[in-house]
Structure 1
Amino acid sequence: MKRGISFEIPNEYGSFLWEILIPFEITEFVWASGGEESYLVEDDKLQEPLFPEEINGMDGLLLKELLEENKYYLIFVNLQAYPKGKNSLLIETYEEFVNSNCQLVLLVVDSIYVTIYCKDKAKLEGLYQIAKLKSFNNLLYITDNNDTRTRLSVW
């Protein structure tokens, strides 16, 4: 069974989260983030943190505007999507993910390694196709047989 996808993005400034999440309909969800390390970029210089602190329940419209309208540098990211009106406490394991309201987990590690877990198989296919279209490196499905992750965390 397909659990998610993994791939590598360029180690540079950009709007990669926006590009990656286009097929996921960001505005339909509320989002949680552990406040990991990533920065807004202005005039090719790192500025304030993209996610300054742990966030539970960020409206999808606010996240869409943040990701679409800014340039940023990703180092570590942990984003989780929850249906509106549902509990948005951060989950840490695949088992918690399966048994929770969380619909998507997006992790970025060391600026380039992206892992996405998604419950909706049609949306997972859309995420795979956009990563393929963007020519992100080492794109592959994460399955029950090849998933080596023990925690859904960047730490």
Structure 2
Amino acid sequence: MRGISFEIPNAYGKYLLELLDGLDITEWTWKIGDGESYVIQRDALGKPLFSNDCLLDGDELRRIISMDDYYLIFVDLKAFSKTSSVRDITTYQEFMESDCQFVILIVDCSYVTIYAKDQHIVQHLLLKAIANGYENIEYVTDENDGRTTLIAF
């Protein structure tokens, strides 16, 4: 089992906060890849939610995803332990050979794929997806994973 996939509503909200609720995201360093997500200001797209290709500590990520509603178009988040070396991860093989612990990819506002090395995290995220009423929830396995890269944009 590589991870899970599901669909979130194509709407603004705090979906990253919902997904990561119950995980201690402060224990990781987060690599933010190229993407496109915006803070909602006066019911319109405002400033970018993240700077592209940057690193955030877990406290800063929690602050960003907790403050305002946002609209997620393309998201590429990769979690590394704080003591590990952070590097670009573009394939599943690189993910497995790296210190990266899990990957969150969102494509076209709704399609979420999460890869995790820790099966407890996979189970936790699966239960969160079910509890939040997300659709088309399924495990990502060696047999059904059609992704060729682990990037969103």
Could you tell me which runs of 5 or more consecutive residues in structure 2 were left unpaired when the two chains were aligned.
Answer: none
Partner residue, 1:42: 41
Q: Please give the per-residue CA displacement for 1:122-153, whole angstroms capped at 9, x wherever unaligned.
A: 11100000001001000000011111111101
Please tell me whether the aligned partners of residues 7 and 114 of structure 1 are also in contact (alpha carbons under 8 angstroms).
yes
Residue in structure 2 matching 1:132, options 130, 133, 149: 130
Query: SS in structure 1 opposite 2:148?
Result: coil
- Equivalences for residues 72-111 of structure 1 within 5 A: 72-111=70-109
Q: Secondary structure at the match of 2:83?
A: coil
Q: TM-score, normalised by structure 1?
A: 0.95
Gaps of 5+ in 1: none
Aligned residues between the structures = 153
1:147 aligns with 2:125: no
Paired residue for 1:6?
5
> Is contact 2:32–2:51 with CA below 8 Å preserved after alignment?
no
Contact 2:36 2:74 (8 Å CA) reproduced: yes
> What percentage of residue pairs aligned between the two structures are identical?
45
CA contact (8 A) 1:24 1:127 kept: no
Residue 19 in structure 1 maps to residue 14 in structure 2: no
Instruction: Tell me the CA shift for residue 42 of structure 1.
Output: 1.7
* TM-score between the two structures when normalised by the length of structure 2: 0.97
In the alignment, the residues of structure 2 paired with residue 53 and residue 125 of structure 1 have an alpha-carbon distance, to the nearest angstrom, of 29
